[in-house]
Chains A and B, each alone.
Chain A
Amino acid sequence: MKQLLLCILFFFVYQLSFSQSTDSLMRALENDSPDQPVIATFKSSRLILSQTTTMVKKHDMDFKVVHRFGDIGGTDGGSKTLLGLDNSSDIYIDFEYGISDRLSISFGRSKYEQLLDMQLKYALLQQTQKSPIAISVLAKTGFTPYRVNTTVFDDYSNRFSYFAQAILSRKFSPNLSLQVAPSFLKRNLVAPGGDEEGLFALGFAGRYKFTKRFGVVLDYYQVFSPYRDNNTNMNFSSPLGMGVEIETGGHVFTLIFVNAKAIVENNFIPNSTSSWSDGQYRFGFTISRMFTLYKPKN
């Protein structure tokens, strides 16, 4: 009798451990799901000064208008220029097209030195559960087509500059994304007196979202240049910008304050001489509009 009871008890334990409930089977099936890359680290491929690891999607085109007004304070600012709104230190128009989800090409034109630029950007690594960061790399060629007043731009090859950057980003939470960008700029011709043709710089940028479509952005570049450190009379100043970002579906608006006059790296990394402390910061904005050029039929 005792034996029988034991057997029945054993059977129930066995049944409990082996009989499958819909719940446990569901859980087992759910765990098979693949590791998905993190999306929407940034709203746009551009913050204030920095470009981001976020890519333009395949067959999409991002049309951007970036504007920087004149100095708010200092000698060029004040009420006479309506806090700099009468002037524009730089205007940048850019078309960025997604060849694939991981490769994009862009063409842009700046008011500052009439710089034309062409860029390729590639998403090397996506943030997943295995990879804590995303990495995008970009290469940009800049060309200034017009003769300036001095005679130094005579040779066409002197007018080229080349920019290379690796952007490392991490989305820490749905709200917080940060990135750091080691950069190198090579200019074919520099001012006489020891200015470096090759400049290393490090970009830091971040975004914190307060709501799903509204956030603050911060952007800073540190340029490593003994020439700039030693020539204090030239007033070289590290570019620093801050502002807000608003997304409205197909558009991303950025409203910012920044000391750098220029918008493109080839210009603002070597040539930022406006300082926050002298009132030489300006209002600026970016409008990014995404166009879907090709829709797959299904």
Chain B
Amino acid sequence: MPLIILLILFFQNTSLDKNTLLICKNVKTTLFSEAPLENIEAKSGTGISVLNPISGELQFVIPIRSLEFNKRLMQEHFNENYMESERYPHAKFKGKIAEPINMEKNGEYPVNVTGELDVHGVKRQRSVKGIMKVQDKKISLSSVFDVKCKDHNIKIPQIVFQKIAENIRITINSTYISQ
């Protein structure tokens, strides 16, 4: 009798676990900032994300070094002088989707995500709006939000000729698969 219970528990447990966590290994991130001389734009396609569709838990990690700029020197300065990517190699988000997720029903739903954004070693509580798209049991998330340099202790010096804006627009796109 105990053995049977144990077996039932095992199978129930493993079957549940297998389908629980969804991952995305190619989160697309763009960074955009309007500046007087020229607009600053960077793209990354190698962020990673984990989504628990049952609890709504959501995490992102974007390697700062993966953000590519058109001007390579600008990219180096971004890493060395602004983001200090040797000290803070990742931008991270850890939060929760407020709305329940229904993977059975196709469509686009607005979602609210609340959690902690960790950029340049400074953690901030953020509430961010996004769009969740369900297509044949496949979940995609997208969101556009602003990050203030000041909020994350990213200093913009007076001496620099190429002034950059205080607000950086971040766009995130991720499509999830099961492991």
Contacts and interface: CB of A to CB of B under 8 A. Distances in A.
B2 A295 contact: no
Contacts of B160: 213, 248-249
B80 A250 contact: no
B73 A26 contact: no
B152 interface: no
B25 interface: yes
Interface stretch (A13-21, A131-139, A269-277): A13-21
Interface in A237-292: 246-251, 290, 292
A294 to B, nearest CB: 10
A212 B5 CA distance: 63
Interface in A1-47: 3-4, 6-8, 10-11, 14-15, 18-20, 22-23, 25-26, 29-30, 33, 36, 38-40
Given A25-B23, A249-B160, A251-B161, A18 B17 contact: yes
Interface stretch (B81-89, B119-127, B131-139): B81-89
Nearest to B6: A7
Interface stretch (B55-63, B103-111, B140-148): B55-63
Contact of A4 (B2, B25, B70, B73): B2
Main SS of chain B's interface residues?
mixed
A60 interface: yes
B79 interface: yes
B20 interface: yes
B73 A250 contact: yes
A238 B172 CA distance: 56
Residue of A18, A249, A251 contacting most chain B CB atoms (<10 Å): A249
Given A4-B5, A22-B59, A249-B161, A11 B21 contact: no
Nearest to A295: B70
Which bucket holds chain B's interface residue count? 35 or more
B48 A20 contact: no
B2 A3 contact: yes
Interface string B23-34: 101000000000
B102 interface: no
A57 B5 contact: no
B149 to A, nearest CB: 14
A226 interface: no
A40 B84 CA distance: 11
A55 to B, nearest CB: 10
A29 B9 contact: no
- Across the A-B interface, give the 5 residue pairs with the lowest CB-CB distance, nearest first: A57-B72, A40-B80, A7-B2, A212-B81, A4-B2
Interface of B: 1-3, 5-6, 9-10, 13-14, 17, 20-21, 23, 25, 43, 48, 50-52, 57-59, 61, 63, 65, 70-73, 76-77, 79-81, 84, 86-87, 90, 157, 159-162, 179
Given A101-B72, A212-B84, A292-B73, 4 more contacts: A11-B10, A15-B13, A30-B48, A248-B159
